[in-house]
Amino acid sequence: MFVGVVTVLLFFSTASTVAQPDLLQTQLDTGSVRASNVSSCPGYRLQQLQQTSTGLHARLTLAGPECNLFGADIHDLSIDVTYETKTRLHVKISDTANKQYTIPKSVVSLPDPPKASFKQASDLVFNYQPTPFAFWITRRSHPWGAPLFDTRISSLPRTPIAAANGTIALDGFPLVFEDQYLQLTSALPLGANIYGLGEVVSSSGFRRDVDQTVQTMWARDIASPVDENIYGSHPIYLEHRFDQNSQTSSSHGVFLFNAAGSDILLLTPPKAKSSLIQYRLLGGILDFYFLSGPTPMNVVEQYGELVGFPTWQPIWGFGFHLCRWGYHDVHETKAQVENMRAANIPLEVMWNDIDMYHAVRDFTTDPVTFPESDMKAFMSELSANHQRYIPIVDAAVAKQVNSTDFYDPYTSGAEKKVFITNPDGSEYIGQVWPGYTVFPDWFVNNTQQWWTDALRNWSQVGVDFSGIWLDMNEASSFCDGSCGTSADLSNTSVPFILPGAPGNPVTDYPECYNAALFGPSGNITVNGTFTCQPATSSLSKRGMGAGKQSGVNLNTPPYAIHNGNGRLSEHALATNATHVDGEVELDVHNLWGLMEEKTTHLALLDILPGKRPFLISRSTFASAGKWTGHWLGDNFSLWSYLRYSIQGVLQFQLFQIPFVGADTCGFRLTDGNFHFYFWPTIDGNTDEELCNRWMQLAAFTPFYRNHNIKGAIPQEPYRWDSVANATRTAIAARYSLLPYWYSLFADSSTRGTPPVRALFFEFPNQPELFSVDRQFLIGRDILVTPVLEPNVTRVTGVFPGRGSVIWRDWYTHDVINPSKANGTLSLSAPLGHINVHIRDHSAILLHAQPAYTTTETRQGPFSLLVSLDAQARASGHAYLDDGESYPPGPSRTLAFQSEPGVVKITGNGSFHVDQKLAQITVLGLWAKPHGVSLNGKTVTGWQYLQAQQKLVVGNLAGDLNGALTLQYW
């Protein structure tokens, strides 16, 4: 959840278009900003080149007088180039003295250097010029093509470039490498197709705006503003290039392995013949990995090979989850479970927010509202009904108030010295929900055991959790600095009014709903009148032991990145907060959430042995998908955020954190213009129409949870009949598709293949798809076209393939006929209906009888849906196992192959499939068969529907532990 202290942002905006005279600036202690000029910086010259079997090594020395722009120039650098695989090239530029912060292998473990040589086999080629040093990356397979990455000044726009009409001034592009500022610039094709560089809610969509974007990397607790830094940092981008001459495309990826606060600029100077990307970093080294693709899917998979593939998800995680901040007690929580069942709306997992805590303290339950005995009974009831429970864990741990206060997570942690300190070694004391708090130091060896013990003790006193929800882990603090030092620790209030409390009513609603006319229900109609009214718009090494490094400004780094909160310590830990080995928060801030996720994942493996850890977390960094899933944070009950949720899901597929979803129906509401970090009257409610459409859309995203803010009107899906009906239909489709979802995530955990895909991922040679993010694909075969605007009953969909692909309606199996000119089609979309289409040449294993829970659904039979292409062919696969063992135990992989007149099912693996295959449906048969057989035995229970060219063969009882062959003639 979003919180904040009362601070007005007087400077900085990270909006996509930034109207400032010059972005190259420094922040003084007073908070003022001054401009600086890089044109005096000399760059570097390459010397002492040594070729190696895997690449090269050389020295870089400063090529002229120091410029000392934002710190001290580092005279001696090393460059190491390693051809790590055929598709991955590593270019590392570091200080020879090795004093700059580098990410420890204990935090992010990247592959070891190769033993074999890929120098000649790699499709990527490193090129360089010695003075001034610059490098560029080309493809061996396309040697005359434009470089993929090019730092030569001759390739970049001519400077100086004056600021005009809100553009960004640029005075030069030298390589700058200082102790507190690094800068590197690469040319991009004019108007390049860039994806990634997050986390961000981008006004330009999944495809980033390369005209003038400032992407700031500084983890920040903020309720999802547009074009500003938010919870996570992922300095990876995918570029997709289309060759007009050959009408073909290729993709590549660029990953900067650096956790420092930074600005990454995507710019196109006026009248320039190229665009550019510029990195501006507060520290660390320039540690680049280049991924050759050449398809978008290849790039994502290659990034997974580098940072690690996503964790295996338990199959129950794909069920529907319900939560809100504001369930007062265990009885109100339990009532939601009962009400959902009474409404026959499937509920898999019940969650609680901080309401459950005693004194808002982690690892506790309130003895009055969530007593231990009632919690144990509630947990037992959920388990008996094949349902599960997930509680919240906030990042900060309450500081013990006085000698009579007993709170073991704090006292045991203090004894083990597991908390972050001030530079003088005293406890760093911030302020979060329970009042004054301390923060775990994940670098301390004892922290893992202490954290595991705290979670285990909690589970043993009634909170029988199946997974954990990690929140506020940027890490967030409501005050600036160690504000609890010498403070009155008994003051446990927070410095703002909570939503729904007196003085801060929740009064706003989504676009087009007028509560002044129609009251607080959020209904679509009141007294027969539609409540959606026309709107104004259409619908020592620093951090490795040398936190005391002299001459370094930890609190106000000379270069001011465009942190949306202003100073880096606002609403966060102070940048001079110190970790056990001397790491300072300035260097490791962006790693805090990742390290908590890894620690919690390992703790759950200890507490729930043999079970897959289920985690949902807010702040993430590269490799976090190995440990956790993600929700898109505190979004708003607005139609625009329904749209933004799609680009958010697509972003995290690229980041290798594929298990992701938004707070369905919206968490809160804002006027869109506030810049105050407290709780003014900006919180709001969803309404029936928005919630209806969102419950449908979210059913086709990996993580499916309805989450609501304290004080807002209730938004559980049973609250409105239309929402209840839409939800039942959407969940039935979702649970039918569970084998398909599960197989996609098995592919993700073994190969890094993204389960959810932008349309151009599957159709990379169609430029008209490069910016489409109002639709998406689940895997290769399922196209989702949601309604994203109020008060409409039709939606226009793009159907890729340019006529070469047959798309069929998920519900009716009818073939659709999009426009031959542009592949679009206007689709009927009455309230309660989301358009879903099946691609041809697909064979999808389904659950034939969706039930109330995933457990009950999986106990029923399977069916197979085959959608033939124009040559009467199709293929697919499915991965089956017990759905929860870790590491994954026995499994069975089924392969489906359809040729004219035959559907073959083969399998391998030792997992025994108890459920039978009850039905096979084949779409695309132009004529009614004369007969059907299964494994040579005549089948009589079949029917043919001419309108859909559909053969339905039922009552099969096919054994999926052996081969099956369906023939028709």
Q: Tell me how crowded residue 816 is: count the other CB atoms within 10 A of its CB.
A: 15
At 506, list the tokens.
């929740």
Show which residues are catalytic.
471, 474, 634
- Phi, psi of 836, deg, nearest 5: -135, 135
Omega cis (within 30) before 160: yes
Can you tell me which residue has the tokens 């009906």? 725
User: What's the CA gap between 652 and 238, in Å, rounded?
Assistant: 12
CA distance 14 to 264: 11
Measured between alpha carbons, how far is 311 from 732 in angstroms, rounded to an integer? 26
Other Cβ atoms within 10 Å of 8 Cβ, number: 9
The two tokens of residue 742 are 């599960």
Nearest-5° Cα angle at 544, 541 to 550: 40
Using CA atoms, how far apart are residues 523 and 534, in angstroms rounded to an integer? 16
Q: What gap in Å lies between CA 697 and CA 833, rounded to an integer?
A: 10
Integer CA distances (angstroms), 51 to 57, 175, 627, in order: 6, 23, 38
Q: Is 144 in contact with 125 (CB distance < 8 Å)?
A: no
938-943 long-range contacts, CB within 8 A, separation 24+? 939/966
Q: What would the two tokens of residue 205 be?
A: 């969509």
DSSP label at residue 38: G
In a 13 Å sphere around the CA of 614, the CA atoms on its Cβ side amount to 23
The structure tokens listed for 545 are 């032991």
**Is the separation of the CB atoms in 868 and 923 below 8 Å?**
yes
d(CA 118, CA 116): 7
Spatial neighbors of 449 by CB under 8 A, at least 6 apart, are none
The closest alpha carbon to 673, from 163, 15, 63, belongs to 15
Contact of 255 with 236, CB cutoff 8 Å: yes
